[in-house]
Structure 1
Amino acid sequence: MTERFDIRHIDLAIADADAGTPGGRALSVFWWKDLPLGTRASLQEELPFGISLLRQLTAEYAARQLEARAVMLGAPLRATYEGWAKPAISLASALEAENLIESLDEFATASSVAADDISVVICTRDRGPALAECLRSVVAQRGTPGEIIVVDNSRDCNARSVCTEFPDIRYVHEPRAGLSRARNAGIRASRLNIISFTDDDVEVHPGWTAEIARAFAGRDVEAMTGLVLPARLDTGAQCYFEFAMGGFGTSFIPRTFGRQFFEETRPHGAHVWKIGAGANMAFRRSVFERLGLFDERLGAGAAGCSEDSELWYRLLATGGECLYEPRAVVFHHHRSDWPGLKRQMKAYMKGHVAALIVQYDNFGDRGNIVRVWTQLPIHFARTFLKTLIKGSPGRLGILAAEIKGWLAGLQFFLRFGWRKQQVPMRAATAIAKETAR
C-alpha cells in the first residue's frame, strides 16, 4: 500500500451532496456536527458519493448512535470479550425508530460543561515544530482547561523556547528519559482533579477538553479514553499503519470497560490494550492516589510502550472502570517512513511483553504468561502464513520487527531486579484481593 489517501471530513448535517473531488484515494470521516460517526476508505472511481449513499450512511450511523447512546436502552454499553459492546436492540430495529435524526441532533449537541478542573499534560522530546502545532490546538479549545502543562523530556530543555510562545503554559523539565517518568512529572506538577494526557505528535479537536469534562461530569467515571483519528495519510507507511495494522483501533461507539470485559479476557491476558490510546486519555486524580503512578519500567524510553494499558489493567483488576467516549477526538500523525514504523512496531511489541510480565508479577494472572508464550507465537505464525498467501512483502518486514520486539521483551523474564515489585503495586494487589472477597 504505497498510494496516499486524502482525508476528507464530511458533515452529514449540512451535506446535501458530496462536493469533494479528491485526486486519488480518500478516507472520508463522517460527522454530524461535532459528533464523529464513522469512516469510509474509497478508491478514486468510487468518488464522489451520491446523495442516496449519503442518506443511507446517515440513517445507519444515526441508528448505531441511538442503540449505543440512548439511556433507555442501557447506555453506556459494556464492552465484552472482543472489546465491542452488545446493543440492546438490533440495527434493523434502530433504523425503524421514530425521530432518528432528532436523536442524532441531541447526541451531537456540543458540550457546555466547563473544563476548568482539567489539567492537560503534554509530554514531549525533541519535537519542537510538532509540539507547537499541538499547543495551538490545545489553546484553541472551546472549553478552556484549568491548566496546560508541558513536560520536556529532552536533555537540553529544547521545548522551553516553544512554550514561551504560548501564554499560561506551565513548563516542567524531566531530564530522566522515559515517557512514564515524564507523565508522572506532569501528574506531580498538576493541581486539578482531572488529568488528561495527549502527545506532541497529536492535534486535538476544538471540543476535546469540553467532551472530557462532560464525560466525567455525567457519570461516576474514574478514567476515560477517546477517539484517535489519523491527521494525515500521505505515505505508504502511514496508510499501512492505519489500514493494515488497524491504527489505534478506531471506534465511534461509546462503551464502558469494566469487570465483565476484564474477567472474560483474563484467561488469555486481559485485553486492556483495546481500551484506547495514551495519546487521548484522562483520569481522576484519585486513581493515581489509589493505584500509584505510571510504571516507570514501561513506556517509550524504557521497555518500549504499554505504560497506559498496564495502568488500565490495574484499574480494572481492582474493580474500576474506564469509559471510551469517541466524542473526545484527537488527530495523530503516524510514522511517515517505513524504518520509523518498523522501530515503532518493535517497541510496541517489546513494551507489550514487558507489560504482560509486570501484570503477572503484580496480580499473578497466568493469562499474561499464556499470551506471551502461546498466543503471540501463534499470532506470528498465522500472520506469516497469511502474508505468504496474499503476497504482501511489506507485512513481512513489520512482522520481523514485531518478532524482534517479542524476543527483546522476553529478556525481562530474567531480570529479577527489574521485576521487583514496587510499593504502589503492592497497594494495588492488596486492593485487588480485598475486591475479590
Structure 2
Amino acid sequence: MTTDFYDALEVRDPAERERDLLAALPKQIMQAQTAAPAFAKILDGVKPADITSREALSRLPVTRKSELLALQKERRANDPFGGFAAIARGSRMPRVFASPGTIYEPEGEARDYWRTARALHAAGFRSGELVHNCFSYHMTPAGSIMESGAHAMGCTVFAGGIGQTEQQVDAMVDLQAEGYIGTPSFLKIILEKAAELKTPLPRLKKALVSGEAFPPSLRDWIDAHGVRGTQCYATADLGLVAYETSAREGLVLDEGVLVEIVRPGTGDPVPDGEVGEIVVTTFNRDYPLVRFGTGDLSSVLAGDCPTGRTNKRIKGWLGRADQTTKVRGMFVHPSQVADIASRFPEVRRARLVVEGEMGDDRMTLKLECDGAPEGLEARVAETIREVTKLRGAVECVTPNSLPNDGKVIEDARSYR
C-alpha cells in the first residue's frame, strides 16, 4: 500500500464500504440499547436487526447536541454522563473532559480513541516527527483528541496549549517542530510573533487546523508564510468526522462514522448537494452515539477526491443548524417550520423569513410547491397560527428558487 494513504480502508470500493457500515449498524444499535441507559430509552422498541439500511436508520430519532446537556442533567445525580456512556469511571475510562454547557465526555482506552491519526496522515505528518500541539489541554478534550492521534502515528508531541506566544516560538525553534496542530487563528498569531521577533521557523512546514472556520484568505496567508495548512472537522462527542486531503477539495468522511445530512429541525435526509445538518452515527462502543445531530451545516460534494480516496466528501462547515428565532416574544423553531410543511404534500421546501424593525416583526413562509392548488396559501396560514401561535403570510415560489444554504428560518430584521 502506498504511503499516500493511511490504510486500505480509504481506497476500498464504495459499495464495499457501505456494506461494511450497514453490517456494523445493528451491532452498534444493540450496544447503545444495552450498555447506554439513555439510548435504551431513546431507542425503546427498536429492533436492532431491522436497522440494516440508511432508510431504516433515518426513521430513528435524532439526538442533537443542543439537547445533550438537558438529557445529561436529568440523570446527573446518578451518572455524570446521563446514561450515554457505555463505560464507567475507573473501568476503561482513563480521562474525562468537559465542553461548554457543561457537557461531560468520556475517553476510552482504545488506541487513537478519537481516530485523528487518519487526518494527521492526510495532512502530511509522519512517524518520528515532533508535533507542536496548541489545542487546549484545560478541561476540554481538544488537546487529547489530537495528541492521541499523533501518538498512534509514532509522533512526539509538545503540549503547547494556548497563549504565551513568545514561549511557543521559542519551543518551536528549540525542539525543531515539524508541524503545528491547533486553531488556524492561533497559528497566524504565532507566525506573526515569530516575524516580530525576527525568528525564522524553517522546520515548521505543515499544520492540521480545526476548531474554527478556515477561509481561503487565511489559508493562503499561512501558505505564504511557509506552512501548508490542512483542516479537519472533529467534535468532542464524536472524534474525527471528516478531513481535508492534499487536494484541498472538500473534506473526506472518516472511515469510522456513518454520516447523514438532514433538513434542519427534522431527521429527514436531504438529497446530495443540498445543505443540511450533519448527523453522525459513531461506531465507538464506549460512547455509542446513534444519529447524533451536531448542529453544524454542510452538504455532500459531488465526485471523487482527486487523491484517490473513495469515501464521500462534504464541503466543510457552512454554518449552524439551530436557527431558533424569537418573533413577537414567541420562540419559533425549525422543527415547527418542518411540521407545517409536512402537512401539505405539495410543499417541497419551506423557508420562514422574519422581517421588520424592532417591535414590528413580520413572518412570511415561502414555499416551493409542485403546483399550488387554490386555497393552499390560506390553509397554510391557518396552520402557521395553529403551530406557532403567531400570524404569518404565505408565498408560493417556483421550485429550486430558495437559496441552498440550509436555512429554514431566515432572520432578515433590521436591528439598527
TM-score (norm: length of structure 2): 0.29
Higher share of residues assigned helix: 1
TM-score (norm: length of structure 1): 0.28
Structure number with greater CO (CA < 8 Å, separation at least 6) is 1
